[in-house]
Amino acid sequence: MMALFDIMTYPLRGKTVLLRVDYNVPLEKKKVKDNRKVLASLSTIKLLLKNDCKIVLMSHLGRPDGKIDENLRVTPLAKELESLLKHPVHKLNDCIGEDVKKKIDSGKPKDIFILENLRFYAQEENNDPAFAHSLADLGEIYINDAFAVSHRAHASVEAITHFLPSLPGLLMKKEISFMDQALLPQRPAVWILGGGKLDKIPLLKNALQKADHVLLGGALPFAFLKAHGISTGMSKVDAAAVSEARKIMQMKEVKKLILPPDFVVADKITPRAKTKTVMAQEIASDQIALDIGPESIKLFKHYLRKAHTIVWNGPLGYFELMPFAEGTRDIARFLGRLTAVTIAGGGETAEALRKFQVDDLFTHVSTGGGAAVEYLEGKKLPGITALERNHKHFRKRSDRLKRR
């Protein structure tokens, strides 16, 4: 169990708090199109308001590449947060500097400020210590509530923790708790791995160590079919993935791996494509497998209904088009009816669950895309490692504060 400061017991009252959030949301006509990430931050913000804190929010937006981009200013984020909180949010014109510091210092308890887009400075993504120090000068305590960017060693995520007492926010705590449940599950545990990317071999290897069964969908099964000498037609697969599949086939844990016995195939990827269902060994050279078939759905449900913990990363087919959405939709709705702990991670998975209106039926849908994948791979995330190191460094100082 990692040692971190606890936001519920840390002496926050009246402090100026730098709060790193992930407000990297889609905009449309300079308005927030999808406010879920903003909503996810509210519990921490409300806790800080309850403690009479002065709050300084920090986020990036888009990819301005270290330059000012008028289309990526955080003004729409400030307006959206103000609307949701029913509380004034003061948008500042920069991230650092004397003018920014003066405005924050002249604020009063319960004032909320939001800094300009962090990525207008190249130093943010370069994890520049001087830039991080300038950010740290704006507050007394740092809170990381941006799990989704904690796999990045950026100045507002990693370097800043060298200068201030640093702790996880409520959203971060929740994310860590559920990721740990995935890695140390109540058994039987079943993982579902899918998606169109072939770079999930590290995730698959860790899944085989942590789960009782691993169900494969999306593009992943084709590497194993190829490794068995079975044609995959025009389906996406590369030589490196096939090579890795052969190595996995030598592992004793390979018996946990469940491949789809059938697929929905077509000769092109279009909304009106003519489809048919074929067995895994019968994919023709001019066909693309774009979804798991009905026998696969039936087989997957057999394993899932027995599970106490289910972890899902990656859709099972090309769910964006209805002819290839059945596998993902059917399994998602099935999981929504189960009493097992259901944890979903990854951007595409969350998108699919929202599309089929079952995201609220899952125990936890992670706000992290790449961060969730790296955590589930067993990697240490720089943002979380920084909080652990900071706890060790500042613990004695915190204990003295508590005794005052």
* 29 and 146 assigned to the same domain: yes
Express as a percent the part of the chain with pLDDT over 90.
Answer: 90
Domain assignment present for residue 52? The answer is yes
Domain assignment present for residue 10? The answer is no
Query: In this structure, what are the phi and psi dihedrals at residue 191, rounded to the nearest 5 degrees?
Result: -105, 140
- In the 3-class helix/strand/coil scheme, how is the chain assigned residue by residue? CCCCCCCCCCCCCCCEEEEECCCCCCEECCEECCCHHHHHCHHHHHHHHHCCCEEEEECCCCCCCCCCCHHHCCHHHHHHHHHHHCCCCEECCCCCCHHHHHHHHCCCCCCEEECCCHHHCHHHHCCCHHHHHHHHCCCCEEEECCHHHCCCCCCCCCHHHHCCCEEECHHHHHHHHHHHHHHCCCCCEEEEECCCCCCCHHHHHHHHHHCCEEEECCCHHHHHHHHCCCCCCCCCCCHHHHHHHHHHCCCHHHHHEECCCEEEEECCCCCCCCCEEEEHHHCCCCCEEEEECHHHHHHHHHHHCCCCEEEEECCCCCCCCHHHCHHHHHHHHHHHHCCCEEEECCHHHHHHHHHCCCHHHCCEECCCCHHHHHHHCCCCCHHHHHHHHHHHHHHHHHHHHHHC
* 126 and 252 assigned to the same domain: no
* 201 and 313 assigned to the same domain: yes
pLDDT exceeds 70 at position 39: yes
* 70 and 212 assigned to the same domain: no
Among candidate residues 112, 75, 72, 120, the one with its CA nearest the CA of residue 96? 120
Instruction: Give the CATH number, domain containing residue 233.
Output: 3.40.50.1260
Q: What's the confidence (pLDDT) of residue 404?
A: 54
* pLDDT tens by residue, 247-304: 999 999 999 999 999 999 999 999 998 999 999 999 999 999 999 999 999 999 999 9
* 134 and 191 assigned to the same domain: no
* pLDDT tens by residue, 359-382: 999 999 999 889 999 999 999 999
Q: Which domain holds residue 139?
A: 16-168+380-403
Query: With bands split at pLDDT 50, 70 and 90, how would you rate the model's confidence at 51?
Result: very high
Q: What's the confidence (pLDDT) of residue 403?
A: 52
* 148 and 209 assigned to the same domain: no
* 112 and 217 assigned to the same domain: no
Among candidate residues 379, 371, 342, the one with its CA nearest the CA of residue 146? 371
Domain assignment present for residue 5? The answer is no
* 181 and 285 assigned to the same domain: yes
Average pLDDT, the chain: 94
* 354 and 385 assigned to the same domain: no
Query: With bands split at pLDDT 50, 70 and 90, how would you rate the model's confidence at 346?
Result: confident
Domain assignment present for residue 112? The answer is yes
Q: What's the confidence (pLDDT) of residue 125?
A: 98
* 206 and 316 assigned to the same domain: yes
Domain assignment present for residue 257? The answer is yes
* pLDDT tens by residue, 197-239: 778 889 999 999 999 999 999 999 999 999 999 999 999 888 8
* 221 and 318 assigned to the same domain: yes
* pLDDT tens by residue, 143-189: 999 999 999 999 999 999 999 999 999 999 999 999 999 999 999 99
* 342 and 282 assigned to the same domain: yes
Note the pTM of the prediction, 2 decimals: 0.92
The structural domain count of the chain equals 2
Domain assignment present for residue 192? The answer is yes
Domain assignment present for residue 104? The answer is yes
Peptide linkage before 188 cis (omega within 30 of 0) = yes
Domain assignment present for residue 4? The answer is no
